[in-house]
Chains A and B, each alone.
Chain A
Amino acid sequence: MRLLPRFFVTLALLWPLAAAERAQAQALRFATDSTAPINVAAGLMVWQRAAGHAQLNKDAQMRQGPLTLSAQQLAIKFADNGTAENIQADGQVVLLSAAGDDSAPRRATARQAFVDLARQTIILTGDVTMTDGVDAARQLSGARLSLDVVSGRAHLTGDADKPRARIELR
């Protein structure tokens, strides 16, 4: 019988944490449109036809619907049939998404990003931080952010040094 009050006390203590977890899971959603055309722009593009590769510099950015990915350098890899297979972004990567029906505007930064155009996923790696337009003071950080462009769901994880993603309230 003495265990019952302890259980309720523990439940009461854990409840806010669980609520925060639910809130975080809901927050990790980006506005996306996987059917929108994929546009890239840059000041300079060097296309190496034989290697099936193009490197974009000077204000390089990729845009698909409400999503914009910018970086110091974008590298597009083309498949044998000439279609674009993936985009590797390096240096000062910024992923922005405008506010959607069920998501706030978001801004994620990282050192690198990899856009798999066939699987429609975007993976940010290297000191990933994420803020949203609703509460800019709250910053999520981790080692890896994966975004499913079809559903708009993002998943933030830590690495060996920081095994958990952190929520920083400032």
Chain B
Amino acid sequence: MADDGRDKQREEAAHIEAYSQRIIHLRRILPIIAVLLLGLLVLAANPDFSRNSTHDATPDNEDNRLLIDQPVFDGRLTDGRAYRFSALQGAQKNDGTMVFRSAQLNVAANGAKPSIFFTANEGFFDPQQNGKNAVARLAGNVVAKTSDGHELRAPKMEMRLNDAVWLAEKGLTMQGPSGTLRAAQLEADDKAAIYHFRNIQMRLIAAGGE
């Protein structure tokens, strides 16, 4: 009888010891699992966390949902001018935006406003709907030629298409009938035909001269 009692006590002690060991293991493992879960949560909330920004994206990137050859997007500025955004090749990304290779943007002339023809190595187009501005960004050897004889060159340009606002924030040069201009920045309200150049240097062509 006494042996039976001791065996039962030993069995209980072993059981308690095993339980304690499991608790110790869990105390070590649970924080690691919690950290891993938190990491997964962060990645799930931001799918582009480890990817390049859309500016540098190319049609060949893995997160592109749909590849399109020679895509064309037509629209109209709020002043009525028609525009066409086209490219050699484009791809729609998971967020609905599009990236292009050899991009072109053509804004038609309207009354006294000349037509503008933009070309660039790469393009990005966000056709934001619901009243928001459609945005086009051009990068890499951006050239804009107007039908009234101006030629603008910049490394990057952004166009808010609905408002006809052009931005070149990384410097530009412009040649035209009035001369050659270098500027650090351009903000152009093409609808009102008003252009703000910052830190300019310009060589003028005088009337009746050169």
Contacts and interface: CB of A to CB of B under 8 A. Distances in A.
Interface string B170-207: 00000011110001000000000111111111111111
Interface in A32-61: 37-50, 56
A115 B102 CA distance: 45
A17 interface: no
A9 interface: no
Contacts, number: 80
A39 B202 contact: yes
Nearest to A50: B193
Contacts of B194: 46-49
B179 A43 contact: no
Q: Is the interface of B mostly helix, strand, loop or mixed?
A: strand
Q: Find the residue from B176, B198, B199, B202 having the highest chain A CB count within 10 A.
A: B202
A84 B208 contact: no
A47 B197 contact: yes
B193 A48 contact: yes
Nearest to B201: A41
Nearest to A84: B204
A32 to B, nearest CB: 14
A84 B207 contact: yes
Contacts of A45: 183, 196-198, 200, 202
A38 B183 contact: no
Contact of A46 (B196, B199, B202, B204): B196
B149 interface: yes
A81 B195 contact: no
A38 B202 CA distance: 8
B148 interface: yes
Interface residues of A, number: 25
Contact of B209 (A44, A81, A82, A118): A118
Nearest to B112: A50
B210 to A, nearest CB: 8
Contacts of B179: 84
Q: Is the interface of A mostly helix, strand, loop or mixed?
A: strand
B198 A44 contact: yes
A139 to B, nearest CB: 32
B200 A49 contact: no
B178 A82 contact: yes
B73 to A, nearest CB: 27
A40 B202 contact: yes
A90 interface: no
A20 interface: no
B207 A40 contact: no
A117 interface: yes
A37 B203 contact: yes
Interface of B: 112, 148-149, 176-179, 183, 193-209
Interface of A: 37-50, 56, 76, 78-79, 81-85, 117-118
13 contacts: A37-B203, A38-B203, A38-B204, A39-B201, A43-B199, A44-B200, A45-B202, A48-B194, A49-B193, A50-B112, A83-B208, A84-B178, A84-B207
